[in-house]
A and B are shown apart, each in its own frame.
Chain A
Amino acid sequence: MDTSNSNTYPTALGVEDFRRNLTAVRARISAACARSSRDPAEVRLLPVSKTVPEERIRLAYAAGCRELGENKVQEALRKAEAMADLTDLRWSVIGHLQTNKTKYVTRFASEFQALDSLRVAESLDRHLQAEGRSLDVLVQVNTSGEASKFGLPPEDLARFVRELPAFSALRVRGLMTLALLSADPTRVRPCFTLLRDLRERLRQDAPDGIVMNELSMGMSGDFELAIEEGATVVRVGQAIFGVRAVPDSHYWPDPPLTSTPKEHIP
């Protein structure tokens, strides 16, 4: 399993750094696909730019990034407005959303990956209807059973999905999860397997108009494992954007170079 940590990914400072990082991540995606007899074209790489400032996002764009994932809707909206000139750049909101913030999502996002309540679904649908547009959504599932994690409990998923056709502006595409944080793949993998199994079950009795194809799972530390279990979207931040531009030595005169447990980094 991988031992990704902040020492592994240097800060991407120029367009060439981004090209190299994107190439390296795509190579890892291809290798994981090869191991599991999958076509790399089935796996969408969603770069996660949360906390990354505009100037570095523009470099990533110049290197070929045409979609970005953001955790927080207000941060994402601010960036989307600042970079409205990049007309073919798509934004995906991948973090928990409170009902009072749905109106921001419908202003700029092309996708929302963390749907886990009917109140949010209803509110998104209402704003979308008013604007005459639709939104791709994934339903977030809590596959690790941790109380702090958002997402529906697996046992509530089927009932929840049956309610979604009522919100006709939402195009339900699949499921999203955040796996358990562990350096032990035998504890991480079951989260991914569970999400895939849930999709298979939903496909058998999905309501009309709902096509359950996508599985958004896996981040910088565990995306290869997720691909082996069927991920169609991987959310990768640090392996593309690296760490921030200020040298560590600026704040950490003596950074420990110990081997690290896996991080839950996008």
Chain B
Amino acid sequence: MKTALALRHIHFEDLGTLEQLLRERGFDVRYLDPAVDDLTVVDAGSADLIVALGGPIGAFDEDAYPFLAAELRLIEQRLASGRPLLGICLGAQLIARLSGAKVASMGYKEIGFGELTLTEDGQNSVLAPLAGVPVLHWHGDRFDLPAGGKLLASTPRCAQQAFAFGDAVLGLQFHLEADASQIERWLVGHCAELAQAGVDPRTVREDARHHGAALAKATRLVMEDWLDRLQGMGVRPE
């Protein structure tokens, strides 16, 4: 059976709607929590898919959060293996950092639902179904486009929303996985950040209710297309 390994930094920033999609495709879904689990014993190449999820710490915070060092090593080895890797938010920033790109504060937070603008490469990528669909944004840092990566999407507040290295590696600054039915956990968990950024949780809650179903369906198309493409390059077919 295929295995998908998710690196989850904070409990509610989980695989969201991706989890069921992966199970439908025959993946055994496993979570590891880099903050407490020993990542040094994980074989970076063995899982069929690794997903590095989001979290409120920064991509260069290993002095304050030493566990990040082991996670960076794991992701670095995964990149070297050429096997499928999806980074979301912090996960994408870690991939960008390991690829030599700058990751830095934007000076403001981009929080809430908003549409992406797909680049031409993005329109021809697995992200195409996200055109016109509001996705969840929740970040204050941004990455530069890593060398050798293709830029796939932008928003007015953050030009680098998504990149790809070939077919196997995707880095997404936004949250396509966010499950609208679970948005309350985000609103509770990030309440201090919402207050600091001056974002009213009622707005995010209402937008989640309004856009959640369309996002879930678009995310299904994105993942099905991506997993189909990966199938041709070594992820076992379902």
Chain A: residues with CB nearer than 8 A to chain B?
A: 5-7, 50-51, 71-72, 96, 98, 146-150, 181, 238, 243-244, 246, 248, 251-252, 254-256, 258, 260-261, 263-265
Contact = CB atoms under 8 A, between A and B. Distances in A.
Contact of A263 (B24, B129, B213, B217): B24
A72 B225 contact: yes
Interface in B1-53: 1-3, 17, 20-21, 23-26, 28, 46
Interface string B160-196: 0000000000000000000111000000000000000
B132 to A, nearest CB: 11
Nearest to A246: B234
Contacts of A96: 217, 221
B228 A264 contact: no
Contact of A181 (B1, B2, B24, B237): B24
Contacts of A98: 129
Given A51-B228, A71-B224, A148-B216, A6 B23 contact: no
B212 interface: yes
A5 B238 CA distance: 8
Contacts of B225: 72
Leading 3 A-B pairs by shortest Cβ distance: A264-B24, A263-B26, A148-B216
A7 B236 CA distance: 11
B14 to A, nearest CB: 15
A2 to B, nearest CB: 14
Q: Which secondary structure dominates chain B's binding surface?
A: helix
B156 interface: no
B217 to A, nearest CB: 6
Contacts of B203: none
Contacts, number: 79
Contacts of B24: 181, 263-264
14 contacts: A6-B1, A6-B2, A51-B232, A71-B224, A96-B221, A147-B212, A147-B213, A148-B220, A181-B24, A243-B236, A244-B236, A248-B236, A256-B1, A260-B26
Contacts of A265: 25-26, 238
Contacts of A149: 217, 220
A244 B17 contact: no
A248 B217 CA distance: 31
Q: Which secondary structure dominates chain A's binding surface?
A: loop
B48 to A, nearest CB: 8
Given A5-B1, A5-B26, A264-B25, A148 B236 contact: no
B105 interface: no
A246 B234 CA distance: 9
Nearest to A260: B1
B2 to A, nearest CB: 7
B231 interface: yes
A147 B17 contact: yes
A252 B43 CA distance: 13
Interface residues of B, number: 32
B209 to A, nearest CB: 11
A251 B23 CA distance: 20
Contacts of B28: 258, 260
Given A256-B1, A263-B24, A264-B24, A251 B234 contact: yes
Nearest to A98: B129
Given A147-B212, A150-B217, A181 B20 contact: yes
B44 to A, nearest CB: 14
B25 A238 contact: no
A260 B237 CA distance: 15
Contacts of B154: none
Contacts of B237: 6, 51, 238, 243-244
Contacts of B26: 5-6, 260, 263-265
Given A5-B1, A6-B26, A147 B221 contact: no
A6 B228 contact: no
Given A5-B26, A265-B26, A146 B236 contact: no
A146 B20 contact: yes
A51 B231 contact: yes
